[in-house]
């Protein structure tokens, strides 16, 4: 036993020594044709691991298409598991920036991690392309020249839905979301257009994140006289809420609507028929009928064991597409960060979701469309079928002034 | 308007409370009988849900899952007690706590490895897949089934422990292991059986909760806190306490959510603090030594 320990120690020690010896060589060669290092801060364990996995797969699809070489340089992804915990995510961010010297950083899923890593990224002038977290502030008062976002701001999928629900579904609406910042942001954006369109809030509730029993809230909704519900939940919360909503017999009398995460493919199979008829707003659905999307869905399924891509995969795909196009535009030169940032800001291409471009004012994506989708039976199970769309949804970017 | 709301919420609280009882009763039994705080109890709950999913996947029969899953988890519990927990009985309780805490991660990774991390759910049996109206309140019939089922389990457990020869053997073993062994009782077997039985109850709760909640690998860690609170409120190791504690917590949390949504997360902790202040040993616990 003791001998084994000593051997393990010796092996570890010699590996460390080798690492120290090799370190400077790695640093020197970075200046020439060394790989472009892309750091990923994403959840790879826990319930949200499926999100991290989808985003990573979307990126891999693009890089594999380029044979992992862009503008003569190898592309290398360094994955770090943030465990959906801000302290862990921030530590991993520091590791990627300070010891791995990544050229570009992407992630996270959790808005708390994004807000926590923001200053480190900004101060170290590291380019961060946010591939999920929707905290509005990062496109507003906390925006940065070094931070882009390919996914969405929480405001974007919700704000157009307020008016749409008031005009097409019902005027008396009960709204609900988990009791944390993103939940309140999303419902706030919904109210912005719902109330001016003549909508009336008959009640609102903020259950705790990770709630397992929504019965008390569902009984209240039933009592409130609401004609529709607008909800933002994701992950297990979305499964439990949608299932219990149906169990309590609310689905027949009170239309369930919400932000797209409510019925994304990570939760839809577990919700099953309970989700039928739920209407949500989102910038993507695999059901979109465009050549780019059809090819994306087919390629993704071919590469990843017939898995249908979701919005998260699209976010990863677009993030990698942005990186590839920007690197080509600067001929693979990642040393001149100002040039690289300008190249990223100018990237424009046909994404599975529509024409992709950044808002120069905030570096946040302009959603080509927010699709209003309804869960229906399609060949191969349930999916979000587009029934309407709202074009060019741009975050207001209040309080953001990027240096020109 | 007010009365059906009150009645409906009370019913919600009852079904949630009974679910909490099923979740926590195995924990409290193992503690009461073996003096082991089994933090991995939530894992038995999770393993039960997944064993249930696997059974339903293979046979499509919920009722079969309700039998098979607890048996499977009981076997896992027996193996765990025999191989790793038994050598620790002579050590400090902290070692047992650390060991069972480690098992939470072990089981979580094991389940992820076998079934993947995706969120799943158990469909309710066809018989209880609709909702019914009682005095103006709408309740899923499955929740009514859970209430009846849980109360029957409580009654059977009470009969088993207080009214059968097997129950008295167990109680004797717990009260004074040395003396019981002197009377010819196989104490190690009693301990393994009790642990396996507690684990099986955890597994049972996983199947029962499946149609109400979703199943995912971290679910076991998530229910540990409510289960521990129930045990503290009811009294460590008391069957009656575990039932009464669950029902109180169920009502407190439900009415907290309904009427004081801003403070609902606090409610169960307030109840726990009040109980512990008034009776440190819990409502039905043995006085602290």
Number of domains in chain A: 2
Closest chain A residue to the Cα of B8, Cα to Cα: A219
| Cross-chain residue pair A270–B214, CB shorter than 8 Å | yes
Query: Cβ atoms within 10 A of the Cβ of A381, count?
Result: 11
Q: Which residues are CB-contacts of B56 (< 8 A; sequence separation ≥ 6)? A: B62, B64, B65, B122, B123
Chain B CB contacts of A184 under 8 Å are: none
Structure tokens at B104: 């939470």
Q: Which residues are CB-contacts of A327 (< 8 A; sequence separation ≥ 6)? A: A36, A70, A71, A73, A334, A340
Q: For the residues of B179-203, what is the DSSP string, one character each?
A: HHHHTT--HHHHHHHHHHHHHHHHH
Structure tokens at B2: 């007010």
Cα(A382)–Cα(A384) distance, integer angstroms: 7
- Three-class SS of residue A176? strand
Low-confidence ranges of chain A (pLDDT < 70): 1-32, 404
Chain centroid offset of residue A372 CA: 18
Q: How far is B8 from chain A (nearest CA, A)?
A: 7
**Residue among B9, B216, B217 whose CB faces A219 most closely:** B9
What range defines the domain where residue A224 resides?
Answer: 155-282+370-393
Instruction: Give the mean pLDDT of chain B.
Output: 90
CA torsion through residues A317, A323, A327, A328, sign: positive
Residue A116 resides in a domain: yes
Residue B282, by phi and psi: left (phi above 0), alpha (psi -120 to 50) or beta?
left
Residue B65 confidence (pLDDT) = 96
Residue A374 confidence (pLDDT) = 97
Q: Does residue A205 sit in the same domain as residue A318?
A: no
Q: How far is A176 from chain B (nearest CA, A)?
A: 12
Structure tokens at A111: 């808005």
Chain A CB contacts of B264 under 8 Å are: 207-208
Please check whether residue B136 touches A, CB under 8 A: no
Residue A164 resides in a domain: yes
Residue A17 resides in a domain: no
Q: For the residues of B28-62, what is the DSSP string, one character each?
A: HHHHHHH----TTHHHHHHHHHHHHHHHHHHH--H
The candidate with the shortest Cα–Cα distance to A264, out of A213, A305, A312, is A312
A105 bridge partner residues: A39, A128
CATH number at residue A273: 3.40.50.2300
**Residue among A215, A223, A272 whose CB faces B254 most closely:** A215
Q: Does residue A322 sit in the same domain as residue A378?
A: no
Residue A244 resides in a domain: yes
Please check whether residue B124 touches A, CB under 8 A: yes
Q: Does residue A376 sit in the same domain as residue A297?
A: no
Nearest 5 degrees, angle CA B274-CA B280-CA B281?
Answer: 125
> Residue ranges of the domains in chain B?
15-220
Residue B3 confidence (pLDDT) = 59
Average pLDDT score over residue span B210-214: 91
Q: Does residue A121 sit in the same domain as residue A219?
A: no
Q: Does residue A52 sit in the same domain as residue A170?
A: no
Residue A404 confidence (pLDDT) = 59
| Cross-chain residue pair B12–A239, CB shorter than 8 Å | no
pTM for the whole structure = 0.87
pLDDT tens per residue across span B34-61: 888 899 999 999 999 999 999 999 999 9
Q: Could you tell me if A341 and A145 are in contact, meaning their C-beta atoms sit under 8 angstroms apart?
A: yes
Chain A CB contacts of B8 under 8 Å are: 219, 222
Query: Cβ atoms within 10 A of the Cβ of B53, count?
Result: 20
Q: Does residue A188 sit in the same domain as residue A147?
A: no
ipTM reported for the complex surpasses 0.95: no
B 61-100 residues with CB < 8 A to A: none
**Residue among B118, B142, B253 whose CB faces A50 most closely:** B118
Q: Does residue A248 sit in the same domain as residue A385?
A: yes
Q: Does residue A227 sit in the same domain as residue A91?
A: no
Please check whether residue B118 touches A, CB under 8 A: yes
Average pLDDT score over residue span B200-225: 91
Cα(B239)–Cα(B228) distance, integer angstroms: 14
The kind and range of the H/E element at A369 are strand A367-378
Does residue B33 or residue B41 have the better pLDDT?
Answer: B41
Q: For the residues of A4-65, what is the DSSP string, one character each?
A: HHHHHHHHHHHHHHHHHHHHHHHHHHTTTTPPEEEEEEE--SSTTHHHHHHHHHHHHHHHHH
């Amino acid at each position: 036993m003791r001998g084994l320990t000593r051997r393990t120690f010796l092996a570890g020690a010699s590996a460390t020594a080798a690492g120290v010896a090799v370190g400077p060589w790695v640093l020197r060669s970075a200046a020439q044709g060394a790989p472009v290092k892309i750091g990923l801060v994403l959840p790879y364990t826990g319930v949200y691991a499926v999100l991290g996995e989808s985003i990573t797969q979307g990126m891999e699809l693009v890089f594999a298409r380029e044979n992992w070489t862009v503008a003569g340089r190898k592309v290398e992804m360094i994955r770090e598991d943030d465990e959906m915990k801000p302290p862990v995510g921030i530590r991993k961010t520091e590791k990627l920036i300070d010891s791995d010297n990544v050229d570009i950083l992407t992630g996270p899923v959790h808005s708390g991690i994004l807000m926590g890593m923001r200053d480190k990224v900004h101060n170290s002038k590291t380019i961060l392309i946010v591939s999920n977290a929707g905290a509005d502030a990062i496109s507003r008062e906390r925006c940065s020249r070094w931070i882009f976002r390919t996914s969405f701001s929480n405001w974007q999928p919700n704000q157009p839905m307020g008016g749409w629900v008031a005009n097409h579904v019902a005027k008396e609406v009960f709204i609900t979301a988990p009791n944390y910042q993103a939940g309140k942001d999303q419902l706030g954006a919904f109210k912005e257009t719902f109330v001016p369109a003549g909508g009336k809030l008959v009640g609102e509730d903020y259950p705790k994140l990770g709630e397992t029993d929504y019965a008390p809230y569902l009984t209240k909704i039933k009592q409130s006289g609401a004609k529709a519900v607008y909800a933002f939940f994701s992950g297990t919360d979305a499964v439990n809420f949608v299932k219990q909503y149906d169990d309590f017999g609310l689905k027949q009398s009170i239309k369930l609507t919400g932000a797209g995460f409510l019925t994304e493919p990570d939760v839809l199979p577990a919700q099953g028929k309970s989700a039928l008829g739920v209407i949500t707003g989102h910038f993507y659905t695999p059901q979109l009928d465009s050549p780019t999307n059809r090819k994306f869905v087919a390629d993704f399924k071919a590469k990843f064991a017939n898995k249908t891509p979701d919005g998260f995969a699209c976010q990863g795909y677009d993030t990698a597409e942005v990186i590839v196009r920007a690197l080509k535009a600067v001929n693979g030169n990642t040393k001149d960060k100002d040039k690289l940032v300008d190249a990223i800001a100018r990237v424009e291409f046909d994404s599975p979701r529509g024409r992709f471009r950044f808002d120069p004012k905030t570096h946040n994506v302009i959603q080509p469309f927010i699709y209003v989708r309804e869960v229906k039976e399609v060949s191969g199970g349930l999916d979000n079928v587009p029934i309407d769309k709202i074009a060019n949804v741009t975050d207001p970017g209040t309080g953001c002034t990027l240096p020109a | 308007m007010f009365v059906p709301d009150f009645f409906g919420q009370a019913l919600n609280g009852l079904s949630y409370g009974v679910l909490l009882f099923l979740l926590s009763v195995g924990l409290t039994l193992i503690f009461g009988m073996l003096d082991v705080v089994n933090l991995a109890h939530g894992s038995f709950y999770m393993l039960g849900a997944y064993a249930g999913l696997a059974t339903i996947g293979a046979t499509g029969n919920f009722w079969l899952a309700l039998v098979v899953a607890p048996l499977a988890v009981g076997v896992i519990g027996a193996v765990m007690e025999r191989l790793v927990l038994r050598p620790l009985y002579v050590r400090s309780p902290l070692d047992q706590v650390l060991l069972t805490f480690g098992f939470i991660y072990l089981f979580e990774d094991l389940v992820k490895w076998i079934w993947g991390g995706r969120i799943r759910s158990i469909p309710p049996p066809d018989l209880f897949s609709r909702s019914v109206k009682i005095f103006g309140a709408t309740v899923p019939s499955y929740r009514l089934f859970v209430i009846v089922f849980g109360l029957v389990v409580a009654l059977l457990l009470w009969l088993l422990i207080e009214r059968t020869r097997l129950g008295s053997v167990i109680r004797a073993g717990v009260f004074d292991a040395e003396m019981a062994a002197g009377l010819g009782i196989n104490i190690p077997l009693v301990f393994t059986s009790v642990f396996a039985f507690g684990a099986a109850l955890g597994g049972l709760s996983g199947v029962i909760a499946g149609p109400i909640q979703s199943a995912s690998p971290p679910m076991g860690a998530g229910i540990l806190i409510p289960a521990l609170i129930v045990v503290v409120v009811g009294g460590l190791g008391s069957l009656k306490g575990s039932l009464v504690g669950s029902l109180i917590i169920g009502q407190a949390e439900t009415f907290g959510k309904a009427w004081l949504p801003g403070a609902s997360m606090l409610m169960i902790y307030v109840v726990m603090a009040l109980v512990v202040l008034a009776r440190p040993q819990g409502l039905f616990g043995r006085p602290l030594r």
